[in-house]
Amino acid sequence: MKNVPSCKTLILAAAVSLGLASASFAQSANVAVPNPADTKANGLLGQNYTTLGYGYVDLDGTNVHASRFSLAANQSLREGLDGLFEYGYTRSSSFAGTRITQHDLMAGARAYLTSAGFKPYVEAGIGWVWQKAAGFSDDSFAWGLGVGAEIDVASAFTVTPYVRYEDLTRGSNNDSWNYGVKANYWVTSRVGIQAGVERDDDKNMTYSVGANIRF
């Protein structure tokens, strides 16, 4: 998030997940044999899942902060390509007698290399942002680009450093560069937890947590 008071936005959520192996066993001569078709890759890319997320945004040099709630979905379209969708709601703390609220709706795609253990990717998304405060409301087309790499650290655990550029087309000075890292751990074959930290070029910090549900 660039900064709430100046109407900058949080775009795309990056983030998203899925991994951990799931095995089904067939009985043959009293020997359990794993079914390779049921094995899920470690990591987030190339998976089908939904993410419920929360982010705390600390705006540099002010006593203003914001909370962001998000619902995102990742759909594997084919090997090396995922489809992305995210809805987010952001609400700032009170300042100057008002609060800023924001709704954003984004859709996009992420292309990645399928090498084991290290998967670099590029992503792009477009959408719309609505913002409102006392005596003010606005909306704008928004777009974003990003690059990153998903790194397998251990079984069921991945770390993903990334860089994103985000822009609202209406108004000036509504773009931002965001640098961050997020981690995902699959607690079970279907449920994972994630956490991340991000800093933008205005030195605003976002700390996030979430749950990933695979389907």
The 10s digit of each residue's pLDDT in 25-64 is 333 334 333 333 334 668 899 999 999 999 999 999 999 9
Tell me whether strands 175-186 and 31-34 are parallel, antiparallel or unpaired: unpaired
Please give the DSSP secondary-structure letter assigned to residue 98.
B
Residues 69, 87 contacting (CB under 8 angstroms): no
Chain position carrying tokens 């379209």: 77
Q: pLDDT (tens digit, 9 = 90+) per residue, 191-209? A: 999 999 999 999 999 999 9
Tokens of 205: 């910090």
Whether residue 70 has pLDDT greater than 80: yes
pLDDT reported for residue 84: 98
CATH classification of 40-214, choosing from 3.60.10.10, 3.40.50.2300, 3.90.110.10, 2.40.128.100? 2.40.128.100
- How would you classify residue 78: left for phi > 0, otherwise alpha for psi between -120 and 50, otherwise beta? beta
Structural domain boundaries in the chain: 40-214
Q: In which band, very low, low, confident or very high, does the pLDDT at 178 lie, cut at 50, 70 and 90?
A: very high
80 vs 46: CA distance, rounded Å: 7
State yes or no: pLDDT of 116 exceeds 60.
yes
Confidence at residue 40, expressed as pLDDT on a 0 to 100 scale:
64
Tokens of 47: 């998976």
Share of the chain above pLDDT 70, in %: 80
- Summarised one tens digit per residue, pLDDT across range 145-162 is 999 999 999 989 999 999
d(Cα 123, Cα 81) in Å, to the nearest integer?
Answer: 10
The mean pLDDT value of the chain amounts to 85
Q: Rounded to whole angstroms, how far apart are CA atoms 178 and 167? A: 11
Among residues 170, 178, 176, 160, which one has the least CA distance to residue 74? 160
87's enclosing H/E stretch is strand 81-92
pLDDT at position 22 over 50: no
Q: In angstroms, rounded to a whole number, what is the distance separating the alpha carbons of residues 81 and 83?
A: 7
Report the C-alpha dihedral over residues 34, 37, 40, 44, rounded to 10 degrees: 170
Lowest mean pLDDT among 1-10, 21-30, 33-42, 83-92: 21-30
- Range 112-135 average pLDDT: 94
What tokens does 92 get?
A: 């700032």
Residues across the chain: 215
Contact 187, 198 (CB under 8 A): no
The structure's pTM equals 0.78
**Cα 28 versus chain centre, distance:** 43
**Mean pLDDT score, 66-95:** 97
* pLDDT at position 169: 87
Out of 51-55, 132-136, 139-143, least confident range? 132-136
